[in-house]
Amino acid sequence: MNHRMFQTLVALLLALAIPYSTESKEKKLPNTLLLRGEVLGVQFEGSADRLRRYRVTLNLEFFNSGQEPIIILQPFGDKVFWLGGVSLARTEDEAKAQVEFYSFAAWPSIYHFPEYRELAQKLDKPLPPPDVTRILKSKESWFWRTDQALIALEEKPASFSGQTLTAEEIKNLPAPIWLRAHLEMWPFNVENFRPGLGGKLRKRWSKVGVLYLREKEKGDRFWFGHITSEPIPLDLSKAMKTN
């Protein structure tokens, strides 16, 4: 795939993705669920089409800092936690302020895959089913390891890209730089098969805990739930080359 084709593909993915504003919609989610993490490894997957590709393995911690139990999904196949975005900043403070030199996001489109039908069936129960949900008690953590975090640095970024420094400039930044991961916590595609499922389950399970969803706004077709991690230190100079 050449550079122009890659940019076209990125634009298509973003055009198909469900519109989502991190800042406006996270405010309506329970603010006591924190996502923290550490880098377990970095693989340099090579340079091609004027891109340098890295794969980051993360150990992510979901932590309930509040007083009420929080209900979250846990991975079911590969369709639950969609790691929809990765952003990079020079410092921890700049990461928190969303002053980033690299940002890429691609959220799901409307899919009717059978995996979502199966997941909808598994979720639609009187109580949170333990095979696809997890209840985090107050001050409790749950850890999840993933290697889905991909970073594709353009040698010379296009004016419309989410990258403001060249790949070489990023390589020469003092370590660590700071990564934030953006995850989809509620796969809205289950509602293709069971409309409004998120809201129904939040009400049904309310005596057990708070299902991690934002409030549904007028005109919304689906329930959403996204989360952004706390800044995670990353050293790209330690990347191992893949064979």
Which amino acid, one-letter code, is at 188? F
Global pTM reads 0.83
Q: Are strands 177-184 and 226-228 parallel, antiparallel or unpaired?
A: antiparallel
pLDDT tens by residue, 128-163: 999 999 999 999 999 999 998 999 999 999 877 899
pLDDT tens by residue, 28-87: 566 799 999 999 999 999 988 889 999 999 999 999 999 999 999 987 665 568 888 999
Domain map (residue ranges) of the chain: 3-241
Q: Which residues contact 65 (CB under 8 A, 6 or more apart)?
A: 32, 33, 34, 139
Determine the distance from the C-alpha atom of residue 214 to the mean position of all C-alpha atoms in its chain, rounded to a whole number.
15
**Is residue 126 classed exposed, middle or buried when 0-12, 13-18 and 19+ CB atoms within 10 A define those classes?**
exposed
Dist. CA 3–CA 8, nearest whole Å: 9
**Res. 19: pLDDT tops 50:** no
Dist. CA 6–CA 8, nearest whole Å: 5
Dist. CA 125–CA 117, nearest whole Å: 14
pLDDT tens by residue, 170-188: 999 999 999 999 999 998 8
Given a contact cutoff of 8 angstroms between Cβ atoms, the answer to whether 70 and 152 are in contact is no
The angle subtended at Cα 136 by Cα 83 and Cα 108, nearest 5°, is 20
pLDDT band at residue 121 using 50, 70 and 90 as cut-offs? very high
Dist. CA 8–CA 18, nearest whole Å: 18
Give the model's pLDDT for residue 17: 44
